[in-house]
Structure 1
Amino acid sequence: MRMEHAWVVAIALSAATFANASAHDDFRSRADKHAPAFLMGDHVHKPGEWMVEYKYMNMYMDDNRIGTQTVSDADAIAYGATSNPVTNRMATPQQMTHEMHMLHIMRGMTENVTFYTMIMLPSITMDHLRGPGAGPMEGTTFTTHNSGFGDTTLGALMRLYTDENDDWILNLSGSIPTGDIFRATSIPTGSPTAMPYPMRLGSGTFNARPGVTCKHYWDFGSFGTQFQTDLPIGRNYRDYSVSDEFRLNQWYSHLITDNFSASIRVENLWRTNFDGADPMTTDMGISTNVESFRGGYWLNLGIGASLLHNGHLLSTEIVPTLYQDLNGIQLETDWSMVASWSKAF
């Protein structure tokens, strides 16, 4: 090969490599660079780069559901009289609001490994209707509330494969039991009573949370799939473990401009029933204390948007529940929402 031809080939290869690298960086510097607001564990950072994120989440639950059927408060109490186990004699839950404030911190360690932590502050409020076991108080309502630190997540994201258009990321994470699981309230009976399971702030166990995310970028948008789990390890000091959880998400984000995108997401969520039982919940006066009434299947739809401005990423998502099939009788989930801000530096 003549020398001038070799130089031409070398320059062409260098230009192609630079173009691919530039395209790679360009795809990951747009408004759709992260998954929709509800999801995490989908991207890595450059070595030495930090990211700080604040998320606010709210889940609203109203009315009880038996399997796939919504029932009235009166029907929920009547069902409890013949269910296995018998429940809702003292009260039935009516609605619940579960708010969450979350601080998410990430740091890139290498090109393909990023460490992260998530600190949770849940706030839970539940309304109830007293049942026939409440005697003269039957038919009256009461509200309980609980808030404080939840469980803390620590993890590492490992990019298994990357090219101009694709990222495959393994999430190796777990939670530590920093959330209080045994707080009492005197509101329903006048004497201290343990909070029911849905109102506790944590799991009480160390949980494994492995997951994997695959993302593909086009000039006009991106598509992603994520499988994420939450698996309690053993039982907590109250002698139970919360549900095993499995989430399968798929989404498409469409660029309106490079700095603004809209997304649609479909989530399949499966939860098992609790394992074991807290000795303080053996009186099944309310369905939220029944371990076999904690599992089910939920199908959720996420509609979201993201705005990138001067390195600040603002994202939001509204998530109505399209379908749910619940074990026993439980409060049904009507909708959730999330808003987040993040900045890498």
Structure 2
Amino acid sequence: MKLRMPIRLAALIVLALNVASQADDHMRSRADKHAPAALMGDHIHDPGEWMVEYKYMNMYMDGNRAGSHRLSDAESVAFGASSDPVTNRGASPTAMTHEMHMLHLMRGITEDITLYTMIMMPSITMDHIRGPMNPAGPGTSFTTHNSGFGDLTIGALLRLYTDVDDDVIFNLGASLPTGDIFRTTSEPTGGAVEQPLPYPMRLGSGTFNARPGITWKHYYQFGSFGTQFQTNLPVGRNYRDYSIGDEFRLNAWYSHLITHNLSTSVRLENLWLTNYDGEDPQSTDALISTNVESFRGGYSLNLGLGIAALVSGHLLNVEFVPTLYQDLDGIQLETDWSIAASWSKSF
């Protein structure tokens, strides 16, 4: 009789652990198992498990903003005459579409470590209006385009803490300077002069970047909450003698389950960017505001509205992200909205 109580207690403990494990697996296999589509680095995989993902992102900019004030195309050209430094004498940007195609591979190494890599292919198109000093004619328009391979991202996701309802994951990430940062065009001057594409149209940073981040996710029976702090920090300057600005993103989101295989999400993002350091020797501030290193920083507040669906083991994830507020250094193209969509499969 005396042996039965310890045996029964041990059996209850094993049963409780099995129930907790099953609840854990159940919650992490729902439609909300990943963060909204625009985010990454929020989940890990079982040892030996692979995940392949294709992600598409598109950021659309229309019109310029000085600080928090929107400017017309004519006001953007005029603004440059009295700005510090003087700019937009050659041209002023009017709109930009920045598309990104990404192939994301992940593999679980242990229960708490997942390795990943991401191949990025940007496609950037920018519309302009020519300024008062342009030999091709003030007030006329032109478009430039650039595309190809971007910087390669690699890293490890380390789960620092987990229980039935929670995961805390550290992102030990980095990017490698595989994207081209120096291409030229004669479009701005109508073929008269060849000049480098401005900073926002370059395909990479040209530097090795540290990308540390941390994510906390909490699961409920009816949904999940998450918050993530993610950075992008260039190390030194590139061969063109400049470095892009530091990037800091603070996100919080809530995903609500409609069914086990369908969820919706709402997300709030704070984005801080610092100005560039150094200067490309062929960058001429007066030509266009996108060449001005001190006009690259600012703050943005973004809203994300998403939906995710599990279909026969395939996760489809879409998010629309309008910009709520922007306060930009100098004069810059404002971001109106972005969209992210992904397909992923684990095996």
Which TM class, normalised by the smaller chain length?
over 0.9
Match of 1:212 in 2: 214
**1:220-259, aligned counterparts within 5 Å?**
220-259=222-261
Give 1:7 deviation, angstroms. 2.7
CA distance in 2, matches of 1:78, 1:18: 69
Match of 1:166 in 2: 166
**1:307-322, aligned counterparts within 5 Å?**
307-322=309-324
Match of 1:198 in 2: 200
CA distance in 1, matches of 2:286, 2:34: 44
Structure 1 runs (4+) deviating above 4 angstroms are none
SS at match of 2:95: strand
> Larger deviation: 134-143 or 255-264?
134-143
Match of 1:186 in 2: 186
SS at match of 2:255: strand
CA distance in 2, matches of 1:249, 1:97: 23
Residue identity matched to 1:328: G
Change (3 A) 1:283 1:223: closer
Change (3 A) 1:43 1:23: same
CA distance in 2, matches of 1:260, 1:338: 17
CA distance in 2, matches of 1:223, 1:99: 28
Residue identity matched to 2:46: K
Please give the per-residue CA displacement for 1:211-245, whole angstroms capped at 9, x wherever unaligned. Answer: 00000001000000000000000000000000100
Residue identity matched to 1:12: L
SS at match of 1:109: strand
Match of 1:16 in 2: 16
For normalisation by structure 1, the TM-score amounts to 0.99
Change (3 A) 1:136 1:177: closer
**1:87-126, aligned counterparts within 5 Å?**
87-126=87-126
**Contact in 1 for aligned 2:85/2:285 (Cα 8 Å):** no
Residue identity matched to 1:277: E
CA distance in 2, matches of 1:6, 1:198: 68
CA distance in 2, matches of 1:231, 1:83: 28
CA distance in 1, matches of 2:177, 2:135: 38
Give 1:4 deviation, angstroms. 2.6
- May I ask how many residue pairs the two structures share in their alignment? 345
CA distance in 1, matches of 2:180, 2:10: 63
Residue identity matched to 1:286: I
CA distance in 1, matches of 2:53, 2:285: 42
Give 1:283 deviation, angstroms. 4.5
For normalisation by structure 2, the TM-score amounts to 0.98
> Larger deviation: 1-10 or 116-125?
1-10
RMSD: 0.9
Aligned counterpart in structure 2 of residue 326 of structure 1, from 325, 328, 334: 328
CA distance in 1, matches of 2:136, 2:174: 47
Give 1:311 deviation, angstroms. 1.1
Please give the per-residue CA displacement for 1:134-192, whole angstroms capped at 9, x wherever unaligned. Answer: 14611110000000000000100000000000000000010000000000111112132
Please give the per-residue CA displacement for 1:1-52, whole angstroms capped at 9, x wherever unaligned. Answer: 7223233222211111100010111110000001000000001101110000
CA distance in 1, matches of 2:59, 2:236: 28
Question: Which ranges of structure 1 fall in alignment gaps of 5 or more residues?
Answer: none
Identity of aligned residues (%): 69
**1:37-76, aligned counterparts within 5 Å?**
37-76=37-76
CA distance in 2, matches of 1:70, 1:268: 20
SS at match of 2:76: helix
CA distance in 2, matches of 1:207, 1:303: 29
